């Protein structure tokens, strides 16, 4: 089953070539969707994703732009976690991938109030607030990414979390 974000952008098939070989051929399933499960970071954390398992987060803002990233959502943490397999990507207007630079290990950090992906010098590649209504993106040292949205802050229209079956 594809959620509306994955289906409308054909996101999962396009990302297959970007995933580590061990994940590229696995079937993926929808773990969490704001359309089905509501807008809540706590519910996203309880989605059934395992901390050690990879996941893909797809976000559509109110301007219709999709800003995805792979992450191990796990549970709220007291520090950054994840591996160099993490990367940020965007479909604005075509697929762009921003891989780990090796400059730091600020992959993912989250608590009940905020989820952050990538970092360095007080900037985050992607952040989401506790009600999953607002997010933001800035260039960061972890991924040397571009801002993933037209503006540094955006409003979330839809969000999906996918995990391997």
pLDDT, tens digit, for every residue of 115-163? 999 999 999 999 999 999 999 999 999 999 999 888 899 999 999 988 8
Residue 70 pLDDT class (50, 70, 90 cuts): low
Q: Could you tell me if 100 and 143 are in contact, meaning their C-beta atoms sit under 8 angstroms apart?
A: yes
> Total domain count for the chain?
1
Name the residue with higher pLDDT: 24 or 96.
Answer: 96
51 to 19, 70, 79: CA distances (angstroms)? 18, 13, 14
Identify the domain containing residue 114 by its residue range: 4-164
Q: What is the per-residue pLDDT for 2?
A: 44
């Amino acid at each position: 089953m594809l959620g509306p974000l994955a289906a409308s952008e054909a996101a999962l098939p396009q990302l297959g070539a970007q995933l580590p070989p061990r994940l590229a051929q696995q079937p993926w399933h929808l773990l969490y969707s704001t359309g089905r499960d509501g807008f809540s970071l706590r519910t996203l954390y309880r989605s059934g994703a395992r901390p050690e398992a990879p996941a893909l987060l797809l976000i559509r803002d109110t301007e219709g732009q999709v800003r995805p990233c792979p992450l191990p959502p796990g549970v709220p943490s007291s520090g950054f976690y994840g591996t160099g397999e993490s990367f940020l990507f965007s479909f604005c207007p075509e697929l762009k991938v921003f891989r780990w630079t090796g400059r730091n290990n600020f992959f993912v950090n989250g608590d009940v109030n905020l989820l952050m992906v990538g970092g360095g010098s007080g900037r985050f590649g992607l952040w989401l607030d506790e009600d999953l209504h607002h997010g933001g993106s800035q260039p960061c040292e972890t991924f040397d990414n571009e801002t993933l949205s037209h503006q540094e802050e955006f409003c979330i229209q839809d969000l999906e979390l996918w995990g391997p079956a």
